Structure 1
Amino acid sequence: MKRNLIALSATLIVAFIVWVSCTERIDAGYEGIKVKLYGSEKGVQDVSLVTGRVWYNPVTESIYEFPTYVQTVNYESFTVNAKDGSVFSVDPTLSLRVSLGSSPKIFTKYRKPVEEILNMTLVNHIKDVYRIEFNNYSTDSIISNRERFEAGVQDKMNKFLAQEGFVLEQLTSGIQYPESITQAINAKNAAIQKAQQAENELKVVEADAKKMIVQAEAEAKANELRQQTLSPLIIQQQFIEKWDGSTPLYGNSPVIFKDIK
């Protein structure tokens, strides 16, 4: 009885070890693929494995996980020549993910983990996309058609990555102009700002001049109206209003009304 219990326990332990070693859990956000290591069917099965627990033969098969969530890769900057030979610096950042169901295709072609493919294998291809697009533009046309240039890069990058089994979510080129172009742009902007400042100052001077003219015209008009209204009777009235009623202590008696004719 005791031996049977020991044998049963041993059997259960062995079965548990086999069960654990023959299953693999594919976590959410990943896509699993089953790879045959031997035989005529050596390679990747056509059907990708969904998330969950997967049964396989660890002697003849292996399970690989490919992340399907969005990953952001900031590539090292590199230089590219425009059509006229000007040198631009590009510092691209890509946000992309594995296209659902494309894990077998990617693994069959590269036989590497996704991180290694994104950070190393695809670098030269990404540079080629920029080189091809830059060769279509001169320096001036890139500056004046920046939006169209970026759209061309993104379109080519979308097509390339789709062929490789990836989906591009976002692309930032991080383009830096040549130093001579940057200096020219800064000088142009400074000239525009200086001209705008001079124009604003001229507007202030013109406004002040107009204000002075208006004030002078108003003052002249007021003086003209005052002269027109100063009749002899008004002058006599103002004299009476200002006289304090006292008379001189010597000399002739004051004349209140003076003949002004």
Structure 2
Amino acid sequence: MKRNMIALGATLFVALIVWISCTERIDAGYEGIKVKLYGSDKGVQDVSLVTGRVWYNPITESIYEFPTYVQTVNYENFTVNAKDGSVFTVDPTLSLRVSNGSTPKIFIKYRKQIDEILGNTLVNHIKDVYRIEFNKYSTDSIISNREKFEAGVQAKMIAFLEQEGFILEQLTSGIQYPEAITQAINAKNAAIQKAQQAENELKVVEADAKKMIVQAEAEAKANELRQTTLSPLIIQQQFIEKWDGSTPLYGNSPVIFKELK
């Protein structure tokens, strides 16, 4: 009896090990695929496995998980030529995710994990998108039509990634102008700022000059008004108001009132 219990326990233990080794849990935020390792149909089944626990034969099949959440990849910068030969540096950053149900398609084409596909395999394709768009523009047209240029790159990137089974969420090109162009732009901006400063200073000088003219005109008009309004009686009145009542120590006494004729 005791031996039977031991045998039963061992059997259950082995069955548990087999059960664990024959199942795989696909977590939320991931899409799983079942890959056949042998036979003429080896590759990926034409199904996408949803989240949950999946049964499979570990001898003849494998389970792969692909994340379906948004991932951000900052690629190494590279150089590309404009239509007129100027060299631009591009430092792209892409935020993208696997399109729902596209995991089998991606695995059939690349047979790699998602990190390797995004980090290495797609790099040359991304560079080609930029090369094609840059070759449409001269240096000046890129600078003056930056928004249109970026829209063209994004449209091509969306189309390319969509056919590969990805959805582009955000794209940052990180374009750096050639050194000569950067220096020219900086010089132009400095000249504009200097001209603006000179214009502002001129406006201040003009304002001060106009203020002085207004003050001088007002003073002249006041003097003219005083000269036309002064009369002998007013002069005598002002003299009386300003006289302190003292007489000089020598000479004639002042005449307070002068006979008017």
TM category (shorter chain) comes to over 0.9
1:139-189 alpha-carbon deviations (Å, 9 max, x no partner): 110000000000000000001011111111110001011111111111111
SS in 2 for 1:96: strand
1:180-202 alpha-carbon deviations (Å, 9 max, x no partner): 11111111111111111110010
1:7-61 alpha-carbon deviations (Å, 9 max, x no partner): 1101110110110010000111111000011123212111100111000011111
Relative distance call for 1:254 and 1:169 in structure 2 (3 A) is: closer
1:3 aligned residue: 3
CA distance in 2: counterparts of 1:131 and 1:246, whole angstroms: 103
Does structure 1 residue 26 correspond to structure 2 residue 26? yes
What aligned pairs does 1:1-261 form with structure 2 within 5 A after superposition? 1-248=1-248, 252-259=252-259
SS in 2 for 1:154: helix
SS in 1 for 2:18: helix
CA distance in 2: counterparts of 1:136 and 1:250, whole angstroms: 104
CA distance in 1: counterparts of 2:252 and 2:43, whole angstroms: 140
CA distance in 2: counterparts of 1:257 and 1:120, whole angstroms: 113
Q: Which runs of 5+ in 2 are unaligned?
A: none
TM-score (norm 1): 0.96
CA distance in 2: counterparts of 1:243 and 1:258, whole angstroms: 15
1:209-260 alpha-carbon deviations (Å, 9 max, x no partner): 0000010011111111111221111111112222333445665454222257
TM-score (norm 2): 0.96
Q: Which runs of 5+ in 1 are unaligned?
A: none
CA distance in 1: counterparts of 2:177 and 2:209, whole angstroms: 45
CA distance in 1: counterparts of 2:179 and 2:260, whole angstroms: 86
* Seq. identity, %: 89
SS in 2 for 1:188: helix
SS in 2 for 1:85: coil
CA distance in 2: counterparts of 1:253 and 1:25, whole angstroms: 127
How far apart are 1:3 and its partner, in Å? 1.5
Q: Aligned AA for 2:183? A: Q
CA distance in 2: counterparts of 1:2 and 1:153, whole angstroms: 75
SS in 1 for 2:48: coil
RMSD of the TM alignment (CA)? 1.4
Aligned length: 261
Q: Aligned AA for 2:242? A: K
SS in 2 for 1:204: helix
